[in-house]
A and B are shown apart, each in its own frame.
Chain A
């Protein structure tokens, strides 16, 4: 089974990279883009097919290593 893990900075954490990219887009004429934040995506291959178990494993990996919960949140997609 394939899983996708999204890790992104919490709303309350400043994202200077996102801000800089948003400003660059504004300069290119993308006036409609109001805000933009940068996150990470992990593409994960699991050797199991059971959804509940797959979700549990990816969540554990996020909690243990892939996400720092002081500054980041995450979402799992299967």
Chain B
């Protein structure tokens, strides 16, 4: 049982994710270069944050053609856990493994700050350790995190319980038009979504950055511990 953390040219959260998985959550993990063609010995995969291919063209647009992505698609189809964080989320939407797209932040500013998130739905793989409605604090650091999809897709996401997290105020209040409650202007304040089967999660906030008290919060650990429980029992 091992998790692969994919390293693209321009990934910069790869080692943080590796550290959070291995040292904090205690899941055997390995960094895997994007040119690799197989994930044969792995049970799950994480696409970390960063600026793959310099965010050229569109964030994630070029990384989706990396050789390893065929394996990531296979994982998604087979129901194995696939987690995309920040740039990883952007890559998953570009690859069509998650619905919608991530647009430039509405403020046109790079946002590097803490956000509060409301857990919108249950999920046996990634959110087992969190309750529906629970508020957690995680940091964001992105230029293109403004989630968008068409009305029909949004209705589907809501109906199928595919929304994982929504941006909110510290008291859990969701205000889509308030920049304090929804800093990047995401549609429906969406911060993270699942695929239909629930085994692929994409999220803009960085759970790997908040896994130790010394870092300011440990709220990110829930996601990695849930993953560990799912994979290792």
Contact = CB atoms under 8 A, between A and B. Distances in A.
B58 A16 contact: no
B108 interface: yes
Contacts of A13: 103, 148
B106 A14 contact: yes
B134 interface: no
B78 interface: no
Nearest to A64: B65
Interface residues of A, number: 11
B92 to A, nearest CB: 13
Contacts of B100: 70
B167 to A, nearest CB: 17
Interface string B82-124: 0000000000011000001101111110000000000000000
B168 to A, nearest CB: 21
Contacts of A68: 58, 61, 94, 101
A70 B107 contact: no
Contact of B103 (A14, A20, A65, A66): A14
A55 to B, nearest CB: 21
A31 B107 CA distance: 24
Interface string B134-160: 000000000000001110000000000
Contacts of B103: 13-14, 71
A45 B101 CA distance: 29
Contacts of A65: 57, 61-62, 65
Given A14-B103, A68-B101, A20 B57 contact: no
Q: Which of B103, B105, B150, B185 has the most CB of A within 10 A?
A: B103
B35 to A, nearest CB: 19
Nearest to B108: A16
B149 A16 contact: no
B106 A66 contact: no
Question: Would you list the 10 A-B pairs with minimal beta carbon distance, nearest first?
Answer: A70-B101, A71-B101, A16-B106, A16-B108, A68-B58, A68-B101, A71-B148, A17-B108, A20-B108, A13-B148
